[in-house]
Amino acid sequence: MPSEDAAGGLDDAAVRKALDELLAWEPMRRSPQLAAFLRYIVEARLDGDEANLKAYSIAVDVLGRGEDFDPQTDPIVRVQARRLRNLLSAFHESGEGQGAVRIVLPVGRYVPQFIPVESKTQPAPVRPGGAVRGSTWIVGAAAIVLLMAAIVFWPDLAERTGRLADLGQPLPPLVLVEEFENLASDEQGTPLVAGLAVEMVTDLNQFPDVVARYGGARAALSPAEIALDMPVYLLSGVARRVAQGVQYGIVLTDGDTGATLANHDLAVALVNEVPMMSIDDVARYFVMRLASPRSVLHAPVRAWLAENDTVPLALYPCLAAYWHYREGPEADANRVKGCAEKLAATEPDARAVLASLLADAAWDEGAETEEGREIIAEARALAESARDEDPTREMAWMALARAAFFSGELLTARDNFHSAYQLNPASADIVAGYAQVLGHIGNWESAMRLSDEIRAAESDPPAWFHLTPALHALRMGDYAEAADHARLSLPAHRDMSLAILVAAGGQMRNRDLIDAYLPQLLAGQRFRRMGILPTLRYLISDTELLRQFSLGIANAGVPLDRLARPF
């Protein structure tokens, strides 16, 4: 039966030929899950079953999710649809398609469209009296290419780089990723490099403050990218055999000067020629180091923020200011609030930043008070608005998680952080927040695995990354380590860090620790308003951890009435 789209009638044979071309394309073959996704939705459309192309059926039938799959809490289908959409666009832009049909996946839908492709073999017009002049044809063709490239690339870049009128402020980095050089001799075993560069491009583009392109040459830049004058970086890599298995290495260089800015290595064991880490995990390992807000990619914008006290007008410097604010109290919260308010109407990520700031303000005000609850409700509404506009934005899910956390809704916070983590598992700051909530509810195996991973990825982890290991050490009775981490986390999480330090001091009978931090703990307005243990119970459900707090703070000399009641 013929398949028809708004563009005209098409027969099944033409659609299946286009599908076969796509499935044979090397980047698609490297992503078997996306290939299965594509085949599934195309066959359903051809069979007239598009009414059943829903997130649930795709998750269960294609992506291996169980029958209890909930698309509201697990965004995997939206994430994979976005990746497939990008891959389809890359195929069509490559010019490799020879069929009469272009397969398109519209934004916000899982039903593909089949668009006729005009013939590419139109005869060249012949001028009376002679042949077409070569130079005129070249100039005309070049103009058409420039125009089409601008039409194709400009809208996407405009979205990724914020308001184009604000080019006086820093623009996000553009990373051109080369194919990895394969010195690993993998002819007989599992491919050790194939698809790694493409996966890194995909992972980098999950960040709202990084733009990544496949192909590591400045000559590959589009006219829109050249016009924007974005900072350009080249990323190259190599894989080679070593005694441990296979060694992956990457080098990041400045696109203008060629100077080496960063390099990272990763050794992966091989068992029967099968690597113990997937290509996805290798890409995530490197991207977590490259795309951190504290990485060399963002050094220029952080320097700009340090040298300028103006309110950022574009999304990229506003996001950079927010991540800096999260690192400690010396950052200017008012500047972040100012730029987020200016951009909230047009930028969902700015709305999410504003929601996170409101969640912090609610906690400072007293999340258990009427005023605090009103602020939390405002924060949640902003975050929901950002999520509903684009459910694939991890910033919105993170803001929802923070609003739930400061409301004492720990399981909701966990679920929302999990959604953010699913969308961007290479974001160190999202992973750190997720690990923190997992620890607070007692899932310490996962919490410490994630915490160790993100602290290893950072040469100088921000203060708040140390709170999870501080709590874990206190729970396990390693009081000296708990105190060491709590001292580091103190600038970012004052109340909780003070409670850890006093509890650790009480358990060790360390008078220096108790004398230094107990007066500060008792002066805390939140502890005075709610009581010490009720404040801790508001954010922690792990009973063993609460027991360690109770015993340690009591051993430090705090009376039971001040532990259990307001004072």
Q: Which domains does the chain have, with CATH numbers?
A: 3-116 (no CATH), 174-290 (3.40.50), 425-567 (1.25.40)
Q: Which amino acid is at 29?
A: R
DSSP SS3 for 232: strand
Q: What is the pLDDT of residue 223?
A: 62
Nearest Cα residue to 424 out of 384, 465, 451, 395: 395
Residue 8 belongs to what H/E stretch?
Answer: strand 8-10
Q: What is the rounded CA–CA span in Å between residue 108 and residue 81?
A: 9
Residuewise pLDDT in 10s, the chain (567 residues): 444 454 345 678 889 998 988 898 877 876 778 888 999 999 999 988 888 888 889 988 888 888 888 776 676 787 778 778 878 887 887 777 788 888 998 877 889 988 888 654 443 333 333 333 333 333 333 333 333 333 333 344 544 554 444 447 889 999 999 999 999 887 767 888 888 999 999 999 999 999 998 886 654 566 665 666 788 999 999 999 998 899 999 999 998 888 999 999 999 998 888 889 999 999 999 999 999 999 999 999 999 999 888 888 899 999 999 999 998 766 678 899 999 999 999 999 999 999 999 999 998 888 778 888 899 999 999 999 999 998 988 999 999 999 999 999 999 999 999 999 999 999 999 999 999 999 999 999 999 999 999 999 998 999 999 999 999 999 999 999 999 999 999 998 999 999 999 999 999 999 999 999 999 999 988 898 889 999 999 999 999 999 999 999 999 999 888 898 988
Q: What is the rounded CA–CA span in Å between residue 474 and residue 479?
A: 5
- With 0-12 / 13-18 / 19 or more C-beta atoms within 10 angstroms meaning exposed / middle / buried, residue 316 is buried
- With 0-12 / 13-18 / 19 or more C-beta atoms within 10 angstroms meaning exposed / middle / buried, residue 131 is exposed
Please identify which residue in the block is written with the tokens 């992956």.
248
Outline where 47-133 has alpha helix (H): 55-61, 76-94
CB atoms under 10 Å from CB of 132, counted, come to 12
DSSP SS3 for 328: coil
pTM of the model: 0.73
Q: What is the pLDDT of residue 144?
A: 33
Q: What is the rounded CA–CA span in Å between residue 208 and residue 319?
A: 9
Helix 428-440 to helix 410-423 angle, to the nearest 10 degrees?
150
Nearest Cα residue to 384 out of 425, 423, 354, 342: 354
DSSP SS3 for 219: helix
